Amino acid sequence: MLSLTICSLGFHGVRSSAPMGKSVIRMEGQNSKALPFAPRPALLDGTLAGDNGFDPLGLAESESRLAFYREAEIRHCRLAMLAAANWPLAELLNKPLAKLLNLPAITEQTGGLAPSIPNGGLGQVSAAFWLLVVAIGILAEVGEITPLLPEARIAGDLGFDPLGLFAKMTAQEKRTMQDKELANGRLAMIAITVFVVQEFVSKKPTF
């Protein structure tokens, strides 16, 4: 649920949206797109990708706080997209893959449910896997120790573009891709939450 709270603020690409400068339409003084009956928060002026002017609790009260929430949102979005894709794959492929590798199927222990905290089954996962996950997480965080500054870079930009696709885009195309990533990420946060709640309540596999 933390993911949903953070994602509701609606930001991506810290106010350093300078690279997208010419494609940005500022919307100061207008009403919120997400809540047409409410005024658009001052800091959510359309500069950021995915900005729908949604901050009814006024949590983004400063530039630095806005940057913090944007960084948190994009991380949650990416994690949720991976989780939402993995959930059905775990339920559909765990048993045949386990059989192929001559290993015990975790979903047989959970009644076909994807391994998770409410469903159980995580204890059956190899300790080596968890160590690998922790190691990858630590490595990913090492480069993020320095505080995120609005003028420093775009939030979530890890320099990962091995095929050089993003680099070849125009400013407008880059902005569009940022919008799409956030839209998909927010949807994924809702989807994974629904998967968890549905299986916790029904005790039946979603897939």
71 labeled part of a ligand binding site = no
186 labeled part of a ligand binding site = yes
181 labeled part of a ligand binding site = yes
30 labeled part of a ligand binding site = no
Whether 169 and 177 have beta carbons less than 8 Å apart is answered as yes
33 labeled part of a ligand binding site = no
Whether 3 and 69 have beta carbons less than 8 Å apart is answered as no
86 labeled part of a ligand binding site = no
User: Which spans in 60-158 are helix H?
Assistant: 63-100, 106-109, 127-142
175 labeled part of a ligand binding site = no
26 labeled part of a ligand binding site = no
Helices 171-202 and 63-100 cross at an angle (nearest 10°) of: 60
178 labeled part of a ligand binding site = no
For the four alpha carbons of 162, 85, 115 and 80, in that order, the dihedral sign comes to positive
172 labeled part of a ligand binding site = no
Report the binding-site residues.
73, 76, 78, 125, 149, 180-181, 184, 186, 198
Binding residues for chlorophyll b, by number, are 78, 125, 149
- Binding positions for chlorophyll a are 73, 76, 180-181, 184, 186, 198
